[in-house]
Amino acid sequence: MKTTAKVWKLEKISKTTIALAGNPNSGKTTLFNAITGARQHVGNYPGITVERKEGSITIKNTRVKLIDLPGTYSLSAYSQEELVARNFLIDEKPDIVVDIVDATMLERHLYLAVQFFELGIPVVLAMNMMDDVKKQGLRIDKQKLSKLLNCPIVETIARTGQGKLELLEVAINEAKDKKKPWVPLKISYGTDIDLALDEMEKIILDHQFMTNRYPARWIALKYLENDSEIIRLGQQDSQVAEQLMVIIENVREHCLKTLNIPPEAIIADYRYGLINSILKQNIIIQEKPRHERIEFTTKLDRFLVNRYLGPVLMVAILYAMFQITFSLGEIPMGWLESFFAWISTSATKLIPEGLLQSLVVSGIIDGVGGVMGFVPLIAIMFLMISFLEDSGYMARVAYMLDRVLRIFGLHGYSAMPFIISGGIAGGCAVPGVMATRTLRSPKEKLATLLTAPFMPCGAKLPVFMLLVAAFFSEYKAQMMFSITLFAWVMALLVAKLVRSTIIRGKSTPFIMELPPYRLPTLRGIYIHTWERTWQYIKKAGTVILAVSILLWAAMTFPSLPEGQVNQFAAERQAISSSIQDNTKRELALLEISNHEGQTALRYSLAGRIGSSLEPLSQLAGFDWRTNIALVGGFAAKEVIVSTFGTAYSLGDVDPESADTLSSRIAVDPSWNKFTALSMIVFVLLYAPCVVTVVAMAKESSWRWAIFATVFNTTIGFGMAVAIYQIGTKLFI
Ligand code: GDP
Ligand code: MG
């Protein structure tokens, strides 16, 4: 008996790989979470930043591996996501694709399904959002649609998990059946294209041209669609490629001449035509009058994306979002601040005075504390953004700004990275850079990545406040507003510059339907917020720790030679014994400590770097002390004010209480209005901080991250020099 049981088990456990595909916003993530729960693994596809999510679950003796493919509208090569999805299907050949379609927008969503059919991979359709279909008073004839598409269909409501088990069962069954080779669907695209396709297919088959990887007709189709990746890969067999190119050139010319549209547009038209001809056969039946959701969305959009009112409301909503973020964030930030202050004092007490204490307190705790202090702010901001995204409003923001951003070679989706990075003063470029993920075209993404760090992030603000208070105290609000405006202008202009030079290329069309407004679920928002916040903590925590230790070392070593230290000690001794009055003595002692601190700083590596940069930096009006602060600011912009304080002999200056430092600078003979302006502009534009650079490298490549560092610094310095030179020559 025992042995049979064992054998039975061995026989029955089988494995199935299911790829989850669908348009963005079809409910993929929701369904994936509903199926896998906590059993999921999140990583990236090798070499790129497209997220790869995997989960597994065992159902009735079948071990199911579920892969959440990136959301795509098609299987062309327009974006990384599309390429990743398609290469995954082709190279890893999952047993079955579950294509999730939004049943309320069947026409749009079936476009992707048709492309799966053309590829030949076995598909099960998950017809999602069935609750919305019902609410709109619609019924969908599932049987008929399934027959016409020749593909099993399961109705789901991902939000409640309804239908997920049936879906898995059907998928597993289909996967078992279809261990045979893929059967691509042959669609007719009209005589011209069909003839070309046949001819190309023959050539491809005769030469075994990439047929080990792709179906022959599909290769031909991609050539006609002008698919950059397939054309690139085809170059390896240049003889065949050339033959194909001749054919497609002919077809293209012919199509343009007769119909005035390129083949890829004709192909798309025919695909939609196929879908329409199916849907027209009474698939969607209006049973009851339309429910309010669509009515509601249409009504709301009349205001929210109105030509004139829309932008005003958008600014108001975004402004409110920042107000809420900052006023809510202040409270936990205060707690964190006191917490780190407490750790700092405890460490000072516990560890005897000396290098170790200085390392732990100034190097580690202050550095990491400075970054962790931003966590509540960032978490709340992400919470707001997740809310705006899930509710459907973010798509409208992108839609409204697209017209403006397009002029500068950017995209509607560039708006969010800019705003998060500080487009409304006070953001942070790290999450901003991470938010560029929503950009589908690599070129627009790069242009956004490079310019988003120009925005006045929260860490730059103390520097601006310090300088504005010192030199433009009557125009505080106006100055801060102008700085923000200037950042936007620079970001857009520089984006235009790079988009018409080093990253030149067509802009991608804004393809995205405006989804209906939905009340986001708590679970969805929680997952989105947590994922992003955790990423920030991880990145910021590790990099900042390393950098603040390095910076501390650079400002500490080499330490003053013993002779000089003794000299200061002797001075102190002399004062202690000669001045009787307590307060006066304290003051005199402080003066000496400051002097010693300043001398030590100048003697340190950082001081030497600052001094050696002086001949160049003088052009913009910066002396060695400013240089140290600016070099330190590369580690984290928060460091600028505190380093400034040290360099101006004020000991440890809290960025919040910059008042005294600002009055000190105001009367310093080496400073004037133009030095201040020059520094403001430089701080705004120069190299992004290290954490941002790392984030940039992760989103693009190290090459671009380093480029941004050099390029932005050059632009910043150029502007600073111009302001300082023109200002001082003309007005002083
Ligand atoms: P993805 O972009 O495909 O991953 O889509 P998401 O899973 O993020 O879902 C997009 C939005 O649709 C979210 O606000 C979900 O809560 C919502 N959603 C997902 N499935 C359903 C559903 O079956 N019914 C309804 N009414 N909303 C859903
Ligand atoms: Mg998703």
pLDDT one-digit tens code per residue, 457-503: 888 888 888 898 889 988 877 888 889 889 999 999 999 999 999 98
Q: Is 392 in the pocket of ligand 1 (CB under 6 A)?
A: no
Question: Which of the ligands is closest to the CA of residue 524?
Answer: 1
Report CA Rg, the chain.
31
| Best mean pLDDT range from 60-69, 353-362, 595-604 | 60-69
Q: Is 267 in the pocket of ligand 1 (CB under 6 A)?
A: no
> Rounded to whole angstroms, how far apart are CA atoms 359 and 376?
26
DSSP states of 464-532: HHHHHHHH-GGGHHHHHHHHHHHHHHHHHHHHHHHHTTTT--PPPP-----PPP-PPPHHHHHHHHHHH
Q: Is 71 in the pocket of ligand 1 (CB under 6 A)?
A: yes
pLDDT of residue 556: 84
| Best mean pLDDT range from 189-198, 227-236, 626-635, 711-720 | 711-720
**Ligand 1 atom 17: the closest Cα is on which residue?**
27
Give residue-wise pLDDT tens across range 118-163: 999 999 999 999 999 988 888 999 999 999 999 999 999 999 999 9
Pairing label, strands 123-128, 138-140: unpaired
| Contact status, residue 691 vs residue 430, Cβ threshold 8 Å | yes
Q: Is 112 in the pocket of ligand 1 (CB under 6 A)?
A: no
pLDDT of residue 437: 79
Tell me how far the alpha carbon of residue 24 lies from the centroid of ligand 2, in angstroms: 7
| 162 CA closest ligand 1 atom index | 23
| 100 CA closest ligand 1 atom index | 3
Give residue-wise pLDDT tens across range 62-111: 899 999 998 898 888 778 888 899 999 999 999 999 999 999 999 889 99
Helix (H) or strand (E) holding 72: none
Q: Is 159 in the pocket of ligand 1 (CB under 6 A)?
A: yes
pLDDT of residue 53: 86
pLDDT of residue 210: 93
Q: What is the mean pLDDT of the chain?
A: 85
Tell me how far the alpha carbon of residue 528 lies from the centroid of ligand 2, in angstroms: 10
pLDDT of residue 585: 85
> Rounded to whole angstroms, how far apart are CA atoms 510 and 345?
54
pLDDT of residue 17: 94
**Ligand 1 atom 14: the closest Cα is on which residue?**
390
Q: Is 390 in the pocket of ligand 1 (CB under 6 A)?
A: yes
Q: Is 518 in the pocket of ligand 1 (CB under 6 A)?
A: yes
Tell me how far the alpha carbon of residue 515 lies from the centroid of ligand 1, in angstroms: 10
| Best mean pLDDT range from 163-167, 280-284, 508-512 | 163-167
Give, for ligand 1, the residue of 29, 30, 532 to mutate: max count of ligand atoms closer than 8 Å to Cβ.
30
Q: What is the arithmetic mean of pLDDT over 685-709?
A: 92
Is residue 558 classed as helix, strand or coil in its secondary structure?
coil
Q: Which residues place a Cβ less than 5 A from the ion ligand 2?
A: 29
| 558 cis-preceded (ω within 30 degrees of 0) | yes
| Best mean pLDDT range from 247-251, 326-330, 635-639 | 247-251
Tell me how far the alpha carbon of residue 294 lies from the centroid of ligand 1, in angstroms: 16
pLDDT of residue 331: 87
| 32 CA closest ligand 1 atom index | 7
Q: What is the arithmetic mean of pLDDT over 222-231?
A: 92
pLDDT of residue 531: 77
Tell me how far the alpha carbon of residue 53 lies from the centroid of ligand 2, in angstroms: 10
Helix (H) or strand (E) holding 98: strand 96-102
Residue 360 corresponds to which amino acid? V
- Helix 375-391 vs helix 393-407: angle between axes, to the nearest 10 degrees? 100
Please check the confidence at residue 340 and state whether its pLDDT lies above 50: yes
Give, for ligand 1, the residue of 127, 159, 296 to mutate: max count of ligand atoms closer than 8 Å to Cβ.
159
Give residue-wise pLDDT tens across range 367-412: 677 667 778 877 887 788 788 877 888 888 888 888 889 899 998 8
pLDDT of residue 627: 92
Tell me how far the alpha carbon of residue 602 lies from the centroid of ligand 2, in angstroms: 52
Please check the confidence at residue 535 and state whether its pLDDT lies above 80: no
Higher pLDDT, 390 or 417: 417
Q: Is 158 in the pocket of ligand 1 (CB under 6 A)?
A: yes
Alpha helices in 500-621 (DSSP H): 522-556, 562-578, 582-603, 605-617
Higher pLDDT, 205 or 416: 205
pLDDT of residue 649: 52
pLDDT of residue 660: 61
Lowest mean per-residue pLDDT among 174-183, 325-334, 646-655: 646-655
Cα 434–437–443 angle (5° rounding)? Answer: 115
Say how many CA atoms lie within 13 Å of 265 toward its Cβ: 7
Tell me how far the alpha carbon of residue 389 lies from the centroid of ligand 1, in angstroms: 11
| Closest CA relative to residue 77, chosen from 442, 356, 487 | 442
pTM over 0.85: no
Q: Is 53 in the pocket of ligand 1 (CB under 6 A)?
A: no
Tell me how far the alpha carbon of residue 26 lies from the centroid of ligand 1, in angstroms: 6
Place of tokens 């200056």: 653
Question: Which of the ligands is closest to the CA of residue 162?
Answer: 1
* Chain-centroid distance, C-alpha 207: 43
Q: What is the arithmetic mean of pLDDT over 692-703?
A: 90
Which residues fall within 8 angstroms of residue 684, CB to CB, at 6 or more apart? 454, 456, 460, 483, 486, 487, 490, 716
Q: What is the arithmetic mean of pLDDT over 575-586?
A: 84
pLDDT of residue 350: 92
Please check the confidence at residue 56 and state whether its pLDDT lies above 80: yes
pLDDT of residue 45: 61
Give residue-wise pLDDT tens across range 269-305: 889 888 988 888 889 888 776 656 667 777 888 888 8
pLDDT of residue 391: 86
Instruction: Dig out the tokens for 207 from the structure.
Output: 């030469």
Percent of the chain with pLDDT over 70: 91
Give residue-wise pLDDT tens across range 646-661: 666 544 444 444 446 7
Say how many CA atoms lie within 13 Å of 561 toward its Cβ: 2
| Closest CA relative to residue 18, chosen from 218, 215, 184, 170 | 170
State the sign of the Cα–Cα–Cα–Cα dihedral 429, 434, 438, 443: positive
pLDDT of residue 337: 80
**Ligand 1 atom 12: the closest Cα is on which residue?**
27
Tell me how far the alpha carbon of residue 523 lies from the centroid of ligand 2, in angstroms: 13
Percent of the chain with pLDDT over 90: 37
Q: Is 327 in the pocket of ligand 1 (CB under 6 A)?
A: no
| Contact status, residue 305 vs residue 513, Cβ threshold 8 Å | no
pLDDT of residue 5: 47
Question: Which of the ligands is closest to the CA of residue 386?
Answer: 1
Q: Is 72 in the pocket of ligand 1 (CB under 6 A)?
A: no
Q: Is 383 in the pocket of ligand 1 (CB under 6 A)?
A: no
Tell me how far the alpha carbon of residue 578 lies from the centroid of ligand 2, in angstroms: 73
Please check the confidence at residue 427 and state whether its pLDDT lies above 80: no
| 524 CA closest ligand 1 atom index | 16
| 520 CA closest ligand 1 atom index | 14
**Ligand 1 atom 24: the closest Cα is on which residue?**
129
Tell me how far the alpha carbon of residue 437 lies from the centroid of ligand 1, in angstroms: 19
Q: Is 27 in the pocket of ligand 1 (CB under 6 A)?
A: yes
**Ligand 1 atom 13: the closest Cα is on which residue?**
390
Please check the confidence at residue 9 and state whether its pLDDT lies above 80: no
